[in-house]
Protein backbone atom coordinates (compact mmCIF):
# COMPACT_ATOMS: atom_id res chain seq x y z
CA UNK A 1 0.00 0.00 0.00
CA UNK A 2 1.46 3.31 -0.99
CA UNK A 3 1.36 6.57 0.92
CA UNK A 4 -1.43 8.15 -1.15
CA UNK A 5 -3.81 5.22 -0.53
CA UNK A 6 -3.01 5.32 3.16
CA UNK A 7 -3.87 9.01 3.35
CA UNK A 8 -7.12 8.47 1.45
CA UNK A 9 -8.30 5.67 3.80
CA UNK A 10 -7.36 7.71 6.91
CA UNK A 11 -9.26 10.71 5.64
CA UNK A 12 -12.37 8.61 4.96
CA UNK A 13 -12.28 7.01 8.40
CA UNK A 14 -11.92 10.43 10.09
CA UNK A 15 -14.92 11.72 8.16
CA UNK A 16 -17.10 8.78 9.21
CA UNK A 17 -16.12 9.22 12.85
CA UNK A 18 -16.89 12.94 12.69
CA UNK A 19 -20.33 12.31 11.21
CA UNK A 20 -21.19 9.81 13.92
CA UNK A 21 -20.11 12.00 16.87
CA UNK A 22 -22.94 13.58 18.88
CA UNK A 23 -23.36 17.32 18.55
CA UNK A 24 -23.92 19.55 21.62
CA UNK A 25 -26.90 21.87 21.31
CA UNK A 26 -26.85 24.87 23.70
CA UNK A 27 -29.81 24.95 26.12
CA UNK A 28 -32.02 28.00 25.45
CA UNK A 29 -32.33 30.43 28.36
CA UNK A 30 -35.89 31.37 29.26
CA UNK A 31 -36.50 35.13 29.20
CA UNK A 32 -37.20 36.89 32.46
CA UNK A 33 -40.71 38.31 32.41
CA UNK A 34 -42.25 41.09 34.50
CA UNK A 35 -45.79 42.53 34.57
CA UNK A 36 -44.58 45.54 32.60
CA UNK A 37 -42.95 45.75 29.21
CA UNK A 38 -40.27 48.32 29.97
CA UNK A 39 -37.31 48.27 32.32
CA UNK A 40 -38.02 51.72 33.73
CA UNK A 41 -41.06 50.49 35.70
CA UNK A 42 -41.02 51.42 39.41
CA UNK A 43 -40.20 48.63 41.84
CA UNK A 44 -43.64 48.65 43.50
CA UNK A 45 -45.25 47.17 40.39
CA UNK A 46 -43.38 43.90 40.89
CA UNK A 47 -43.25 44.07 44.72
CA UNK A 48 -46.00 46.07 46.40
CA UNK A 49 -45.21 45.09 50.01
CA UNK A 50 -44.22 47.97 52.31
CA UNK A 51 -42.82 47.86 55.87
CA UNK A 52 -45.12 50.56 57.26
CA UNK A 53 -48.57 49.20 56.34
CA UNK A 54 -50.53 47.61 53.51
CA UNK A 55 -50.31 48.47 49.82
CA UNK A 56 -51.84 47.37 46.54
CA UNK A 57 -51.31 48.14 42.87
CA UNK A 58 -54.21 48.86 40.54
CA UNK A 59 -54.09 48.93 36.76
CA UNK A 60 -56.26 50.40 34.03
CA UNK A 61 -55.79 49.93 30.31
CA UNK A 62 -56.02 52.88 27.97
CA UNK A 63 -59.62 53.33 26.82
CA UNK A 64 -60.64 53.96 23.24
CA UNK A 65 -61.96 57.42 24.14
CA UNK A 66 -58.59 58.51 25.50
CA UNK A 67 -60.31 59.56 28.73
CA UNK A 68 -57.46 59.97 31.24
CA UNK A 69 -59.81 60.81 34.10
CA UNK A 70 -61.77 57.59 33.59
CA UNK A 71 -58.52 55.63 33.39
CA UNK A 72 -57.37 57.07 36.72
CA UNK A 73 -60.72 56.21 38.31
CA UNK A 74 -60.52 52.61 37.10
CA UNK A 75 -56.92 52.18 38.28
CA UNK A 76 -57.72 53.64 41.70
CA UNK A 77 -60.81 51.44 42.07
CA UNK A 78 -58.79 48.35 41.14
CA UNK A 79 -56.11 49.20 43.70
CA UNK A 80 -58.65 49.79 46.47
CA UNK A 81 -60.40 46.51 45.71
CA UNK A 82 -57.13 44.64 46.03
CA UNK A 83 -56.25 46.53 49.21
CA UNK A 84 -59.65 45.64 50.69
CA UNK A 85 -58.84 41.98 50.14
CA UNK A 86 -55.57 42.35 52.02
CA UNK A 87 -57.27 44.27 54.79
CA UNK A 88 -59.92 41.56 55.13
CA UNK A 89 -57.14 38.99 55.62
CA UNK A 90 -55.61 41.21 58.30
CA UNK A 91 -58.97 41.53 60.09
CA UNK A 92 -59.39 37.75 60.06
CA UNK A 93 -55.87 37.33 61.45
CA UNK A 94 -56.62 39.85 64.20
CA UNK A 95 -59.76 37.99 65.27
CA UNK A 96 -57.96 34.66 65.11
CA UNK A 97 -55.43 36.04 67.59
CA UNK A 98 -58.23 37.58 69.65
CA UNK A 99 -60.05 34.26 69.87
CA UNK A 100 -56.87 32.60 71.10
CA UNK A 101 -56.38 35.30 73.73
CA UNK A 102 -59.99 35.09 74.92
CA UNK A 103 -60.01 31.28 75.08
CA UNK A 104 -56.88 31.41 77.22
CA UNK A 105 -58.41 34.07 79.47
CA UNK A 106 -61.60 32.01 79.82
CA UNK A 107 -59.79 28.88 80.96
CA UNK A 108 -61.07 29.47 84.50
CA UNK A 109 -64.39 27.90 83.57
CA UNK A 110 -66.39 31.01 82.80
CA UNK A 111 -68.84 31.02 79.93
CA UNK A 112 -67.00 31.20 76.59
CA UNK A 113 -67.95 33.63 73.86
CA UNK A 114 -70.61 32.37 71.50
CA UNK A 115 -69.28 31.75 68.00
CA UNK A 116 -72.32 33.50 66.48
CA UNK A 117 -71.57 36.65 68.50
CA UNK A 118 -67.93 36.69 67.42
CA UNK A 119 -68.92 36.15 63.79
CA UNK A 120 -71.28 39.13 63.96
CA UNK A 121 -68.46 41.23 65.38
CA UNK A 122 -66.11 40.18 62.58
CA UNK A 123 -68.70 40.98 59.90
CA UNK A 124 -69.42 44.39 61.41
CA UNK A 125 -65.73 45.25 61.61
CA UNK A 126 -65.13 44.26 58.00
CA UNK A 127 -68.13 46.31 56.91
CA UNK A 128 -66.92 49.40 58.74
CA UNK A 129 -63.31 49.47 57.62
CA UNK A 130 -63.64 47.93 54.16
CA UNK A 131 -66.99 48.91 52.72
CA UNK A 132 -66.75 52.58 53.71
CA UNK A 133 -64.54 53.47 50.78
CA UNK A 134 -61.37 52.42 52.68
CA UNK A 135 -61.07 55.64 54.65
CA UNK A 136 -57.49 56.48 55.44
CA UNK A 137 -55.98 55.15 52.22
CA UNK A 138 -53.86 57.35 50.00
CA UNK A 139 -52.32 57.20 46.55
CA UNK A 140 -48.56 57.06 46.94
CA UNK A 141 -47.66 57.03 43.25
CA UNK A 142 -48.97 56.85 39.67
CA UNK A 143 -47.09 55.42 36.70
CA UNK A 144 -47.97 55.32 32.99
CA UNK A 145 -46.35 52.55 30.96
CA UNK A 146 -45.09 54.24 27.76
CA UNK A 147 -45.12 50.91 25.93
CA UNK A 148 -48.88 50.28 26.11
CA UNK A 149 -50.29 53.34 27.98
CA UNK A 150 -51.52 51.20 30.88
CA UNK A 151 -51.88 53.29 34.03
CA UNK A 152 -50.72 51.93 37.39
CA UNK A 153 -51.84 53.24 40.78
CA UNK A 154 -50.06 52.50 44.07
CA UNK A 155 -52.43 52.81 47.06
CA UNK A 156 -51.31 52.48 50.68
CA UNK A 157 -52.76 52.39 54.18
CA UNK A 158 -50.21 53.10 56.90
CA UNK A 159 -49.90 50.75 59.86
CA UNK A 160 -50.95 53.49 62.30
CA UNK A 161 -54.09 54.29 60.29
CA UNK A 162 -54.89 50.60 59.85
CA UNK A 163 -54.46 49.77 63.54
CA UNK A 164 -56.64 52.69 64.62
CA UNK A 165 -59.36 51.71 62.14
CA UNK A 166 -59.28 48.08 63.29
CA UNK A 167 -59.31 49.02 66.98
CA UNK A 168 -62.13 51.58 66.61
CA UNK A 169 -64.33 49.29 64.53
CA UNK A 170 -63.72 46.26 66.77
CA UNK A 171 -64.43 48.18 69.99
CA UNK A 172 -67.66 49.55 68.53
CA UNK A 173 -68.84 46.13 67.35
CA UNK A 174 -67.88 44.37 70.59
CA UNK A 175 -69.60 46.97 72.78
CA UNK A 176 -72.74 46.61 70.68
CA UNK A 177 -72.79 42.87 71.35
CA UNK A 178 -72.12 43.42 75.07
CA UNK A 179 -75.08 45.81 75.25
CA UNK A 180 -77.22 43.04 73.77
CA UNK A 181 -76.20 40.60 76.49
CA UNK A 182 -72.92 39.04 75.32
CA UNK A 183 -71.07 40.03 78.50
CA UNK A 184 -68.34 37.43 77.88
CA UNK A 185 -67.01 39.71 75.14
CA UNK A 186 -65.61 41.99 77.86
CA UNK A 187 -62.51 39.83 77.78
CA UNK A 188 -62.15 40.54 74.08
CA UNK A 189 -61.91 44.27 74.77
CA UNK A 190 -59.12 43.62 77.26
CA UNK A 191 -57.17 41.55 74.71
CA UNK A 192 -57.87 43.65 71.61
CA UNK A 193 -54.64 45.67 71.47
CA UNK A 194 -52.51 42.55 71.79
CA UNK A 195 -54.47 40.83 69.04
CA UNK A 196 -54.03 43.78 66.67
CA UNK A 197 -50.30 43.85 67.34
CA UNK A 198 -50.03 40.08 66.78
CA UNK A 199 -51.94 40.28 63.49
CA UNK A 200 -49.05 42.30 62.03
CA UNK A 201 -47.18 39.01 61.76
CA UNK A 202 -50.04 37.33 59.95
CA UNK A 203 -50.46 36.88 56.18
CA UNK A 204 -50.22 40.02 54.06
124-182 per-position pLDDT tens digit: 898 888 876 677 789 999 999 998 899 999 999 999 988 988 999 999 999 998 898 88
Global pTM reads 0.72
Q: Which residue has the higher pLDDT, 152 or 116?
A: 152
Provide the residue ranges of all domains of the chain, joining segments of one domain with +. 80-139+152-199
CA distances from 97 to 34, 91, 101, 198 (A): 36, 10, 6, 7
Q: Which residue has the higher pLDDT, 192 or 23?
A: 192
- Per-residue confidence band for 113, with pLDDT thresholds at 50, 70 and 90: low
DSSP E strands in 150-191: the ranges are 151-158
Does residue 97 register a pLDDT over 90? no
The confidence score (pLDDT) of residue 108 equals 56
Amino acid sequence: MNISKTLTISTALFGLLACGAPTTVPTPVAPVTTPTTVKSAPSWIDNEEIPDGLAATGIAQANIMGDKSLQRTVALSDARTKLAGKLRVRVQAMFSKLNQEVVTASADGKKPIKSQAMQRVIENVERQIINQDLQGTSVRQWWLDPADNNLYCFVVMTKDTMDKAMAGAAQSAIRKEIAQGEVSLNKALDKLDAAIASSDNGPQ
